[in-house]
């Protein structure tokens, strides 16, 4: 790989494109098809006027990128944050296309985001911004077009507002327009924990390859939001030894394993993991580099770069977040024989259960939680096997294998449909 500046290395679109280019080259795809797959189908920028609690009017910038609708409606989350950029949303949209193809569900890929500081906005301001954003997207989203879901700093409440706004415009309740909704308005049982559960399922498969059992597997999790906290809790309940948790405001370490049920309670009461009595305070950056069997980055992008990859001491890297590892870091991890469960496989449990939610909404018939979890496990285990088999057959690392498998599936559909006609 050509040397790149750090700025280029951590640009998510560059990170996505670097892997795409390698995988497409290895697949020997024809040049025209590569162009079709490389660029998003549609990018929408909206400016959202919101009346703030202090009486002022603020205008927020929002995005929705639909990377591909070849295999089905576009699907992807909406994130709120001060550092959201179009390049990031574009990369996340492409990752959704590949992710849905890796787990072989009938969706394309999309992503949305709004540049805002949600931690300094009131619930009323967030609601007005969400509703206006949804209204701006009315022609572009819908159960058969593009189905948003929660992502960083958005949640079930955000989805309830989006669903309600869309329904107001359609003059009827349309639950299937978004996923990740509260259960009483068309959400799926098991959706809240699904991304974390999917991470655990792929880890269960990976440790078998190392002859490990959960009891002798030490795990460090970065990010204690929806994805990280559910992954940590479920893995703790399954017997894994969670020795470290890393958050923005501090980190916790206990070499004997942290009681995650107690930590959840502590976080609920204190809105932070800090001050928890069942573990020692640790340095967040050092804890990322502490020896363990599994490291789960479940926070945000670019946590493992060319700067720190050589110092990572896990045997398995289970990517809960999207894009936590840069392309330059991939090579270092491969040299150090770290077994990477790439994001487009590892965190696909969320979109898989979103698919179940969409199916249930359209059927008007809701499944019991064990049914959801069993179907999720089937899909995640098959996808894990497909990726590892592909890696062995083509002598590539797991990430490139996942991209190749996904690109091959999308390319097949594009060719069959004649999308470029």
225 binding ligand NAD? (CB under 6 A):
yes
Considering only residues 16, 153, 302, 305, which one is a binding residue for ligand NAD as defined by CB under 6 A?
A: 153
Write down the least CB distance from residue 9 to ligand NAD, Å: 17
Rounded to the nearest whole angstrom, what is the least distance from the CB of residue 72 to ligand NAD in the complex? Answer: 18
Cα–Cα distance, 94 to 110 (Å, whole number) = 7
Binding string, 189-208, against ligand NAD, x = CB under 6 A? ------x-------------
Tell me whether residue 143 or residue 225 sits nearer to ligand NAD (CB atom).
Answer: 225
3-state secondary structure 160-180: HHHHHHHHHHHCCCCHHHCCC
Q: Which of 227/411 has CB closer to ligand NAD?
A: 227
Q: Shortest distance, CB of residue 224 to ligand NAD, whole angstroms?
A: 5
| Known catalytic membership, residue 337 | no
Nearer CB in complex with ligand NAD: 121/212: 121
- When binding is defined by CB under 6 A, the residue of 12, 76, 190, 223 that contacts ligand NAD is 223
Contact mark string toward ligand NAD, 308..327, x via CB under 6 A: ------------xxx-----
- Residue number, 274 or 336, with CB nearest to ligand NAD: 274
Rounded Cα–Cα distance for residues 318 and 240 (Å): 14
What is the Cα gyration radius of the chain?
A: 21
Establish if 290 lies at the interface with ligand NAD (CB under 6 A).
Answer: no
Separation CA 338–CA 314 (nearest Å): 7
Q: Cβ(73)–Cβ(108) under 8 Å?
A: yes
Residue reference for tokens 């990430």: 399
SS3 for 155?
A: coil
**Range in contact with ligand NAD (rule: CB under 6 A) among 20-28, 241-249, 256-264, 382-390:** 241-249
Label each residue of 347-412 as H, E or C: CCHHHHHHHHHHHHHHHCCCCCHHHHHHHHHHHHHHHHHHHHHHHHHHCCCHHHHHHHHHHHHHHH
Is there binding between residue 299 and ligand NAD (CB under 6 A)? yes
CB proximity list for 321: less than 8 A, separation 6 or greater: 222, 223, 227, 297, 298, 299, 300, 301, 303, 343, 347
Q: Are 57 and 50 in contact (CB under 8 A)?
A: yes
Cα separation, 21 vs 3, in Å, equals: 15
Of the candidates 75, 99, 111, 181, the residue annotated as catalytic is: 111
Residues within window 245-274 making contact with ligand NAD, judged by CB under 6 A: 246-248
18 binds ligand NAD (CB under 6 A): no
From candidates 150, 186, 187, 342, binder to ligand NAD by CB under 6 A: 150
**φ, ψ (nearest 5 deg) of residue 82:** -70, -25
Q: Is 151 in the site for ligand NAD (CB under 6 A)?
A: yes
- By CB under 6 A, the residues from 74 to 113 that bind ligand NAD are none
Rounded to a whole number of angstroms, the minimum distance from the CB of residue 345 to ligand NAD is 11
Closest CA to 273 of 236, 237, 248, 239: 248
Site for ligand NAD in 337-396 (CB under 6 A): 347, 350
Rounded to whole angstroms, the Cα distance separating 245 from 281 reads 10
Given the rule CB under 6 A, which residues bind ligand NAD? 150-153, 195, 222-228, 246-248, 298-300, 320-322, 347, 350
Residues annotated as part of the active site: 111
């Amino acid at each position: 790989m050509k040397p790149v500046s750090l700025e280029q290395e951590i640009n998510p679109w560059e990170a996505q494109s670097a892997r795409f280019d390698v995988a497409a080259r290895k697949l020997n795809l024809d040049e025209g098809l590569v162009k079709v797959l490389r660029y998003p189908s549609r990018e929408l920028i909206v400016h959202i006027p919101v009346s703030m609690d202090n009486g002022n009017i603020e205008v927020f910038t929002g995005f929705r990128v639909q990377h591909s609708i070849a295999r089905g409606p576009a699907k992807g989350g909406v994130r709120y944050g001060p550092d959201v950029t179009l390049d990031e949303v574009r990369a996340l949209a492409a990752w959704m296309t590949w992710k849905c193809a890796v787990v072989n569900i009938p969706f394309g890929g999309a992503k949305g985001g709004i540049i805002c500081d949600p931690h300094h906005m009131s619930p009323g301001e967030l609601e007005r911004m969400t509703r206006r954003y949804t209204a701006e997207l009315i022609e572009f989203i819908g159960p058969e077009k593009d189905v948003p879901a929660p992502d960083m700093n958005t949640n079930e409440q955000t989805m309830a507002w989006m669903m309600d706004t869309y329904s107001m415009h359609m003059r009827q309740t349309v639950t299937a327009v978004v996923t990740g909704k509260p259960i009483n308005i068309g959400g799926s049982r098991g959706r809240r924990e699904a991304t974390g559960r999917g991470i655990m399922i792929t880890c269960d498969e990976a440790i078998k390859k190392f002859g490990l059992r959960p009891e002798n597997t030490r795990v460090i999790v970065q990010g204690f939001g929806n994805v990280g906290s559910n992954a940590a809790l479920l893995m703790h309940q399954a017997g894994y030894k969670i020795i470290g948790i890393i958050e923005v405001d501090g980190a916790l370490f206990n070499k004997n394993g942290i009681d995650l049920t107690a930590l959840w309670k502590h976080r609920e009461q204190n809105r932070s993991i800090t001050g928890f009595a069942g573990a020692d305070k640790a340095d967040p950056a050092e804890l990322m580099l502490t020896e363990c069997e599994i490291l789960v980055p479940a926070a945000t992008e670019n946590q493992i770069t060319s700067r720190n990859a050589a110092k990572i001491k896990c045997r398995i890297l289970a990517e809960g977040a999207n894009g936590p590892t840069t392309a330059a870091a991939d090579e270092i991890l491969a040299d150090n024989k770290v077994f990477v469960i790439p994001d487009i496989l590892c965190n696909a449990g969320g979109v898989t259960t979103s698919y179940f939610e969409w199916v249930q909404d359209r059927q008007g018939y809701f499944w019991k939680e064990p049914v959801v979890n069993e179907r999720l496990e089937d899909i995640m285990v098959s996808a894990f096997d497909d990726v590892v088999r592909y890696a062995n057959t083509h002598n590539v690392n797991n990430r490139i294998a996942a991209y190749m498998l996904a690109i091959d599936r999308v390319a097949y559909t594009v060719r069959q449909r004649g999308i470029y006609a």
